Amino acid sequence: MKAISNNGKQGKIGILKSINKYKVQIFCVLPAILIITIFKYYPFVTSVYQSFFNWNGANVKIFEGLGNYKDLLKDKMFHDAIFNILKVCVATILINLTFPFIAAELVSNIKNQKIQKFFKLGFIIPMVVPFMVVILLWKWILAGDYGIFNMLLQGIGLGGFTKPWLGTESTSLGAIIFINFPWIAGLPFLLYLAGRQNISEALYEAASLEGAGTFQKIIHIDIPLLSSHRKLVITYMLIQAFQMFDQPSVLTGGGPGTATLTPALYIYQRAFNYNQFGYSSSIGVALFILVMVITFLNQRIMKESDVMD
Protein backbone atom coordinates (compact mmCIF):
# COMPACT_ATOMS: atom_id res chain seq x y z
CA MET A 1 0.00 0.00 0.00
CA LYS A 2 2.70 2.40 1.10
CA ALA A 3 4.80 1.67 -1.95
CA ILE A 4 1.90 2.39 -4.27
CA SER A 5 1.08 5.73 -2.67
CA ASN A 6 4.77 6.62 -2.82
CA ASN A 7 4.78 5.77 -6.48
CA GLY A 8 1.72 7.89 -7.00
CA LYS A 9 3.39 10.78 -5.25
CA GLN A 10 6.50 10.44 -7.34
CA GLY A 11 4.36 10.22 -10.48
CA LYS A 12 2.63 13.44 -9.55
CA ILE A 13 5.89 15.19 -8.84
CA GLY A 14 7.24 13.82 -12.11
CA ILE A 15 4.29 15.31 -14.01
CA LEU A 16 4.68 18.65 -12.24
CA LYS A 17 8.41 18.60 -13.01
CA SER A 18 7.82 17.94 -16.68
CA ILE A 19 5.10 20.60 -16.82
CA ASN A 20 7.63 23.01 -15.39
CA LYS A 21 10.28 21.86 -17.81
CA TYR A 22 8.01 22.26 -20.81
CA LYS A 23 5.99 25.23 -19.58
CA VAL A 24 6.88 27.44 -22.54
CA GLN A 25 5.91 24.73 -25.01
CA ILE A 26 2.63 23.99 -23.24
CA PHE A 27 1.81 27.67 -23.04
CA CYS A 28 2.39 27.97 -26.79
CA VAL A 29 0.20 25.08 -27.92
CA LEU A 30 -2.53 25.84 -25.41
CA PRO A 31 -4.43 28.58 -27.33
CA ALA A 32 -4.78 26.42 -30.45
CA ILE A 33 -5.79 23.36 -28.45
CA LEU A 34 -8.31 25.26 -26.33
CA ILE A 35 -10.04 26.97 -29.27
CA ILE A 36 -10.22 23.77 -31.26
CA THR A 37 -11.45 21.73 -28.31
CA ILE A 38 -14.15 24.19 -27.27
CA PHE A 39 -15.42 25.08 -30.74
CA LYS A 40 -14.89 21.84 -32.62
CA TYR A 41 -14.41 18.67 -30.57
CA TYR A 42 -16.85 19.55 -27.82
CA PRO A 43 -19.65 20.49 -30.28
CA PHE A 44 -18.90 17.35 -32.25
CA VAL A 45 -19.37 15.14 -29.19
CA THR A 46 -22.47 16.97 -27.99
CA SER A 47 -24.07 16.76 -31.43
CA VAL A 48 -23.95 12.97 -31.18
CA TYR A 49 -25.47 13.17 -27.68
CA GLN A 50 -28.19 15.63 -28.72
CA SER A 51 -29.18 13.52 -31.69
CA PHE A 52 -30.82 11.05 -29.29
CA PHE A 53 -33.23 13.66 -27.93
CA ASN A 54 -36.41 15.36 -29.00
CA TRP A 55 -35.20 18.84 -28.15
CA ASN A 56 -36.39 22.34 -29.06
CA GLY A 57 -33.17 24.03 -27.99
CA ALA A 58 -34.72 25.34 -24.76
CA ASN A 59 -37.15 23.74 -22.30
CA VAL A 60 -38.36 20.52 -23.95
CA LYS A 61 -35.79 17.71 -23.93
CA ILE A 62 -37.07 14.11 -24.13
CA PHE A 63 -34.83 11.10 -24.66
CA GLU A 64 -35.83 9.35 -27.87
CA GLY A 65 -33.07 6.81 -28.38
CA LEU A 66 -32.74 6.14 -32.07
CA GLY A 67 -36.12 7.78 -32.74
CA ASN A 68 -34.64 10.67 -34.71
CA TYR A 69 -32.66 8.31 -36.90
CA LYS A 70 -35.76 6.21 -37.59
CA ASP A 71 -37.62 9.37 -38.61
CA LEU A 72 -34.69 10.34 -40.80
CA LEU A 73 -34.99 7.11 -42.78
CA LYS A 74 -38.60 8.00 -43.58
CA ASP A 75 -38.05 11.74 -44.08
CA LYS A 76 -38.76 12.53 -47.73
CA MET A 77 -37.26 16.03 -47.49
CA PHE A 78 -33.99 14.57 -46.20
CA HIS A 79 -33.91 12.09 -49.07
CA ASP A 80 -34.58 14.87 -51.57
CA ALA A 81 -31.75 16.93 -50.07
CA ILE A 82 -29.32 14.01 -50.39
CA PHE A 83 -30.47 13.32 -53.94
CA ASN A 84 -30.06 17.00 -54.87
CA ILE A 85 -26.58 17.24 -53.44
CA LEU A 86 -25.48 14.09 -55.25
CA LYS A 87 -26.65 15.67 -58.50
CA VAL A 88 -24.74 18.85 -57.62
CA CYS A 89 -21.61 16.83 -56.81
CA VAL A 90 -21.68 14.94 -60.11
CA ALA A 91 -22.30 18.13 -62.09
CA THR A 92 -19.54 19.98 -60.22
CA ILE A 93 -17.01 17.26 -60.92
CA LEU A 94 -17.90 17.02 -64.62
CA ILE A 95 -17.73 20.80 -64.97
CA ASN A 96 -14.38 21.09 -63.22
CA LEU A 97 -12.79 18.29 -65.20
CA THR A 98 -13.60 20.01 -68.48
CA PHE A 99 -14.05 23.79 -68.61
CA PRO A 100 -11.12 24.95 -66.44
CA PHE A 101 -8.90 22.31 -68.03
CA ILE A 102 -9.72 23.50 -71.54
CA ALA A 103 -9.12 27.11 -70.49
CA ALA A 104 -5.80 26.21 -68.86
CA GLU A 105 -4.71 24.42 -72.04
CA LEU A 106 -5.73 27.37 -74.18
CA VAL A 107 -3.89 29.82 -71.94
CA SER A 108 -0.70 27.76 -71.71
CA ASN A 109 -0.61 27.30 -75.48
CA ILE A 110 -0.44 31.06 -76.02
CA LYS A 111 3.06 31.79 -77.28
CA ASN A 112 3.24 35.50 -76.49
CA GLN A 113 4.27 35.81 -72.82
CA LYS A 114 2.52 39.13 -72.27
CA ILE A 115 -0.81 37.96 -73.68
CA GLN A 116 -0.52 34.75 -71.70
CA LYS A 117 0.03 36.69 -68.48
CA PHE A 118 -2.93 38.91 -69.26
CA PHE A 119 -5.30 35.93 -69.56
CA LYS A 120 -3.85 34.21 -66.51
CA LEU A 121 -4.35 37.24 -64.31
CA GLY A 122 -7.69 37.96 -65.97
CA PHE A 123 -9.16 34.62 -65.03
CA ILE A 124 -7.93 35.01 -61.45
CA ILE A 125 -9.62 38.36 -60.79
CA PRO A 126 -13.22 37.03 -60.69
CA MET A 127 -12.07 34.57 -57.99
CA VAL A 128 -11.40 37.54 -55.79
CA VAL A 129 -14.96 38.88 -55.94
CA PRO A 130 -16.86 37.66 -52.85
CA PHE A 131 -18.88 34.61 -53.79
CA MET A 132 -22.01 36.16 -52.31
CA VAL A 133 -21.75 39.06 -54.75
CA VAL A 134 -21.49 36.58 -57.61
CA ILE A 135 -24.58 34.77 -56.34
CA LEU A 136 -26.59 38.00 -56.05
CA LEU A 137 -25.43 39.10 -59.49
CA TRP A 138 -26.66 35.85 -60.98
CA LYS A 139 -29.92 36.18 -59.10
CA TRP A 140 -30.54 39.23 -61.26
CA ILE A 141 -29.30 37.52 -64.43
CA LEU A 142 -31.60 34.53 -63.93
CA ALA A 143 -34.61 36.46 -62.63
CA GLY A 144 -38.09 36.05 -64.12
CA ASP A 145 -39.07 39.49 -65.39
CA TYR A 146 -36.27 41.86 -66.39
CA GLY A 147 -33.83 38.98 -65.96
CA ILE A 148 -30.87 39.52 -68.26
CA PHE A 149 -30.84 35.91 -69.39
CA ASN A 150 -34.49 36.03 -70.43
CA MET A 151 -33.90 39.33 -72.24
CA LEU A 152 -31.03 37.68 -74.08
CA LEU A 153 -33.26 34.79 -75.12
CA GLN A 154 -35.90 37.22 -76.39
CA GLY A 155 -33.24 39.18 -78.24
CA ILE A 156 -32.08 36.13 -80.20
CA GLY A 157 -35.62 35.00 -80.99
CA LEU A 158 -35.98 32.32 -78.33
CA GLY A 159 -38.59 34.27 -76.38
CA GLY A 160 -40.71 31.13 -76.01
CA PHE A 161 -38.17 29.62 -73.64
CA THR A 162 -38.15 32.42 -71.10
CA LYS A 163 -39.09 31.48 -67.55
CA PRO A 164 -38.18 32.34 -63.97
CA TRP A 165 -35.24 29.94 -63.98
CA LEU A 166 -34.76 29.87 -60.23
CA GLY A 167 -38.47 29.73 -59.47
CA THR A 168 -39.37 26.82 -61.73
CA GLU A 169 -39.15 23.40 -60.13
CA SER A 170 -37.63 21.65 -63.13
CA THR A 171 -34.92 24.26 -63.76
CA SER A 172 -34.04 25.69 -60.35
CA LEU A 173 -31.27 23.23 -59.42
CA GLY A 174 -29.81 23.48 -62.91
CA ALA A 175 -29.93 27.27 -62.67
CA ILE A 176 -27.99 27.19 -59.39
CA ILE A 177 -25.35 24.96 -60.95
CA PHE A 178 -25.26 27.28 -63.96
CA ILE A 179 -24.13 30.19 -61.78
CA ASN A 180 -20.64 31.37 -62.70
CA PHE A 181 -20.81 29.95 -66.22
CA PRO A 182 -18.33 29.20 -67.89
CA TRP A 183 -16.93 28.15 -64.49
CA ILE A 184 -13.31 28.96 -65.28
CA ALA A 185 -12.34 31.47 -62.63
CA GLY A 186 -11.61 29.11 -59.78
CA LEU A 187 -9.07 26.98 -58.02
CA PRO A 188 -9.14 24.12 -60.61
CA PHE A 189 -7.96 26.51 -63.33
CA LEU A 190 -5.02 27.58 -61.17
CA LEU A 191 -4.10 23.99 -60.36
CA TYR A 192 -4.25 22.82 -63.96
CA LEU A 193 -2.24 25.81 -65.06
CA ALA A 194 0.43 25.20 -62.40
CA GLY A 195 0.58 21.52 -63.34
CA ARG A 196 0.80 22.27 -67.03
CA GLN A 197 3.71 24.64 -66.46
CA ASN A 198 5.63 22.04 -64.47
CA ILE A 199 5.73 19.68 -67.42
CA SER A 200 9.16 19.76 -69.00
CA GLU A 201 9.47 21.50 -72.40
CA ALA A 202 11.70 18.65 -73.55
CA LEU A 203 8.72 16.30 -73.60
CA TYR A 204 6.83 18.53 -76.03
CA GLU A 205 9.89 18.97 -78.21
CA ALA A 206 10.37 15.22 -78.39
CA ALA A 207 6.70 14.80 -79.27
CA SER A 208 7.00 17.43 -82.00
CA LEU A 209 9.96 15.58 -83.49
CA GLU A 210 7.83 12.46 -83.63
CA GLY A 211 5.25 14.48 -85.52
CA ALA A 212 2.63 14.91 -82.77
CA GLY A 213 0.12 17.75 -83.13
CA THR A 214 -1.30 19.91 -80.35
CA PHE A 215 -4.22 17.57 -79.66
CA GLN A 216 -1.99 14.52 -79.53
CA LYS A 217 0.30 16.30 -77.09
CA ILE A 218 -2.64 17.14 -74.86
CA ILE A 219 -3.98 13.58 -74.96
CA HIS A 220 -0.67 11.76 -74.56
CA ILE A 221 1.30 14.16 -72.36
CA ASP A 222 -0.93 16.56 -70.44
CA ILE A 223 -3.88 14.36 -69.54
CA PRO A 224 -1.78 11.51 -68.10
CA LEU A 225 0.72 13.82 -66.38
CA LEU A 226 -1.97 15.97 -64.75
CA SER A 227 -3.68 13.02 -63.07
CA SER A 228 -2.58 14.07 -59.59
CA HIS A 229 -3.96 17.57 -60.20
CA ARG A 230 -7.23 16.10 -61.41
CA LYS A 231 -7.51 14.02 -58.24
CA LEU A 232 -6.89 17.09 -56.13
CA VAL A 233 -9.57 18.99 -58.05
CA ILE A 234 -12.08 16.17 -57.64
CA THR A 235 -11.44 15.79 -53.91
CA TYR A 236 -11.52 19.50 -53.21
CA MET A 237 -14.57 20.28 -55.33
CA LEU A 238 -16.44 17.30 -53.89
CA ILE A 239 -15.96 18.64 -50.37
CA GLN A 240 -17.02 22.12 -51.49
CA ALA A 241 -20.08 20.93 -53.40
CA PHE A 242 -21.29 18.72 -50.59
CA GLN A 243 -21.47 21.69 -48.25
CA MET A 244 -23.53 23.90 -50.60
CA PHE A 245 -25.53 26.35 -48.53
CA ASP A 246 -25.17 29.95 -49.71
CA GLN A 247 -26.80 29.62 -53.13
CA PRO A 248 -30.07 27.90 -52.14
CA SER A 249 -30.26 29.89 -48.93
CA VAL A 250 -30.17 33.24 -50.73
CA LEU A 251 -31.77 32.39 -54.07
CA THR A 252 -34.52 29.85 -53.49
CA GLY A 253 -34.76 28.95 -49.79
CA GLY A 254 -34.52 25.32 -50.96
CA GLY A 255 -37.61 25.60 -53.14
CA PRO A 256 -39.73 25.41 -55.16
CA GLY A 257 -40.85 22.46 -53.05
CA THR A 258 -37.61 20.67 -52.29
CA ALA A 259 -36.07 21.20 -55.73
CA THR A 260 -32.96 22.98 -54.40
CA LEU A 261 -32.88 21.78 -50.80
CA THR A 262 -29.36 20.78 -49.72
CA PRO A 263 -28.32 18.94 -46.53
CA ALA A 264 -26.66 22.01 -45.03
CA LEU A 265 -29.73 24.14 -45.66
CA TYR A 266 -32.00 21.43 -44.28
CA ILE A 267 -30.04 21.28 -41.02
CA TYR A 268 -30.32 25.04 -40.74
CA GLN A 269 -34.07 25.11 -41.46
CA ARG A 270 -34.92 22.29 -39.05
CA ALA A 271 -33.04 23.99 -36.24
CA PHE A 272 -33.80 27.64 -36.75
CA ASN A 273 -37.18 27.65 -38.48
CA TYR A 274 -38.75 24.69 -36.65
CA ASN A 275 -36.71 24.61 -33.42
CA GLN A 276 -36.01 20.91 -33.87
CA PHE A 277 -32.47 20.95 -32.48
CA GLY A 278 -32.31 17.25 -31.62
CA TYR A 279 -33.55 16.17 -35.03
CA SER A 280 -31.26 18.64 -36.71
CA SER A 281 -28.27 17.17 -34.81
CA SER A 282 -29.18 13.70 -36.00
CA ILE A 283 -29.11 14.96 -39.60
CA GLY A 284 -25.62 16.31 -38.94
CA VAL A 285 -24.39 13.02 -37.52
CA ALA A 286 -25.90 11.03 -40.38
CA LEU A 287 -24.27 13.35 -42.89
CA PHE A 288 -20.94 13.10 -41.14
CA ILE A 289 -21.06 9.33 -41.57
CA LEU A 290 -22.04 9.78 -45.20
CA VAL A 291 -19.16 12.21 -45.81
CA MET A 292 -16.72 9.77 -44.22
CA VAL A 293 -17.98 6.99 -46.49
CA ILE A 294 -17.71 9.20 -49.59
CA THR A 295 -14.21 10.36 -48.59
CA PHE A 296 -13.15 6.77 -48.01
CA LEU A 297 -14.59 5.60 -51.36
CA ASN A 298 -13.03 8.58 -53.12
CA GLN A 299 -9.63 7.73 -51.67
CA ARG A 300 -10.00 4.07 -52.61
CA ILE A 301 -10.91 4.96 -56.19
CA MET A 302 -7.98 7.39 -56.38
CA LYS A 303 -5.58 4.75 -55.05
CA GLU A 304 -6.78 2.16 -57.52
CA SER A 305 -6.41 4.55 -60.43
CA ASP A 306 -2.88 5.19 -59.16
CA VAL A 307 -2.14 1.50 -59.55
CA MET A 308 -3.64 1.56 -63.02
CA ASP A 309 -1.44 4.48 -64.02
- Which of the residues 14 through 73 are near another protein (CB under 8 A)? 18, 22, 24-26, 28-29, 31-33, 35-36, 38-44, 46-47, 50, 57
Minimal distance, residue 4 CB to another protein, in Å: 24
Q: Please, are residues 278 and 54 in contact by the beta-carbon 8 Å criterion?
A: yes
Ranges within 146-165 binding another protein (CB under 8 A): 146, 148, 151
Minimal distance, residue 1 CB to another protein, in Å: 30
Please give the Cα distance from 77 to 74 (Å, whole number).
9
Minimal distance, residue 146 CB to another protein, in Å: 6
For another protein, the closer of residues 45 and 62 by Cβ is 45
Minimal distance, residue 32 CB to another protein, in Å: 4
- Report the residue count for the chain: 309
Q: Is the peptide bond before 31 cis (omega within 30 degrees of 0)?
A: no
Q: Which range, of 78-86, 158-166, 167-175, 279-287, touches another protein by CB under 8 A?
A: 279-287
Minimal distance, residue 257 CB to another protein, in Å: 22
> Is 166 exposed, middle or buried, given 0-12, 13-18 or 19+ CB atoms closer than 10 A?
buried
Minimal distance, residue 250 CB to another protein, in Å: 5
Residue from 6, 7, 98, 109 binding another protein (CB under 8 A): 109
Minimal distance, residue 34 CB to another protein, in Å: 9
Per CB under 8 A, 191 contacts another protein: yes
For another protein, the closer of residues 91 and 110 by Cβ is 110
For another protein, the closer of residues 151 and 199 by Cβ is 151
Please give the Cα distance from 5 to 167 (Å, whole number).
73
For another protein, the closer of residues 5 and 20 by Cβ is 20
Q: What is the 3-state secondary structure (H, E, C) of 174-234?
A: HHHHHCCCCCCCCHHHHHHHHHHHHCCHHHHHHHHHCCCCHHHHHHHHHHHHCHHHHHHHH
Per CB under 8 A, 218 contacts another protein: no
Per CB under 8 A, 98 contacts another protein: no
What's CA 236's distance to the chain center, in Å? 6
Q: Which range, of 1-9, 76-84, 107-115, 167-175, touches another protein by CB under 8 A?
A: 107-115
Per CB under 8 A, 133 contacts another protein: yes
Q: Which helix (H) or strand (E) holds 144?
A: none
What DSSP string runs through 95-106?
Answer: HHHHHHHHHHHH
Beta carbons within 8 Å of 142's beta carbon, 6+ residues apart = 149, 165, 166, 175, 178, 179
Q: Which range, of 68-76, 88-96, 118-126, 170-178, touches another protein by CB under 8 A?
A: 118-126
Residue 155's SS3 state is helix
Beta carbons within 8 Å of 197's beta carbon, 6+ residues apart = 108
Minimal distance, residue 259 CB to another protein, in Å: 20
Ranges within 238-267 binding another protein (CB under 8 A): 239, 242-243, 245-246, 249-250, 263-264, 267
Residue 83's SS3 state is helix
Backbone conformation region of residue 62, classed left if phi is above 0, alpha if psi is from -120 to 50, else beta: beta
> CA-based angle 195:217:229, to the nearest 5?
20
Residue from 63, 83, 140, 274 binding another protein (CB under 8 A): 140
Residue from 82, 127, 212, 218 binding another protein (CB under 8 A): 127
